Amino acid sequence: MKKVLDKGYVRLVDVMGSDLTIVNAARVSYDKESHELNGKDERLINFLIREGHTSPLRHASMQFEVYAPLMVARQWWKQVVGSDHTMDAWNESSRRYISEKEEFYIPGENEWRSKPANSKQGSGEPLNAVEGLPFTAALMSYVEQGEKFYNKAMNCGIAPEQARLFLPAYGMYVRWYWTASLQSVLHFLDQRLESDAQKEIQDYAKVVEEYVIEHYPAVYRAWNKSKGEINNG
């Protein structure tokens, strides 16, 4: 489990396949199989990614448990449903059925960012702690008030699926399982490691990237090299 933000985390639950899985999926057309990764195999992986022959990447998959603010979860989900790389599954905890402890992401006084000067999305320069302090205090007060009304509704017998309306949504932590093919994971990293992605989801993407490096090092090297070639091209 790797910590992210103040209370969040990413946990790798399961992995199917390895660099060798991708190599053998590509070579099955020629009735070939490798039993130990070698230089020739790595050159094949480089070729597949460089030329966009990425279907073999769908024979490997990763399963994560993620705990993140709702604003991060919904951006993440956009990448899943917006991808044609299939092999994705998403199951999220629901306050219709459970009443787990409410937790919220509250930026510290030195973590607020200004709006960008020349864009409708993203962030500009960070605010200093003096400027950020009243916003941290105001958000804490807002969260406390929402929790108060939520608990009152629950204690009065309101259905949990309606009582949750009182909880401030965007900063509330939610938990989910995400199972995706390696191709889909790399697609997520392509989108969410970019400098114009929201910083909070970048932080989560960097942790997912660490797990990819650990379990698919040859694929990661080829993917990273391909990104560099595109950027320099």
For 78, phi and psi rounded to 5 degrees? -60, -40
Please give the full DSSP string across the chain, using - where no structure is assigned: -EEETTTEEEEEEEEE--HHHHHHHHHGGGT---SS--HHHHHHHHHHHHTT--GGGGG-EEEEEEEEEHHHHHHHHHHHHT-S----EEEE--TTT--PPP-B----TT--BPPPSS-SSS--SBPPHHHHHHHHHHHHHHHHHHHHHHHHHHHTT--HHHHGGGS-STTBEEEEEEEEEHHHHHHHHHHHSSTTS-HHHHHHHHHHHHHHHHH-HHHHHHHHHHHHHHHH-
- Given the residues 11, 43, 192, 221, the one annotated as active site: 192
CA distance 117 to 65: 36
Tell me whether residue 192 is one of the annotated catalytic residues: yes
Q: Catalytic residues, which ones?
A: 192
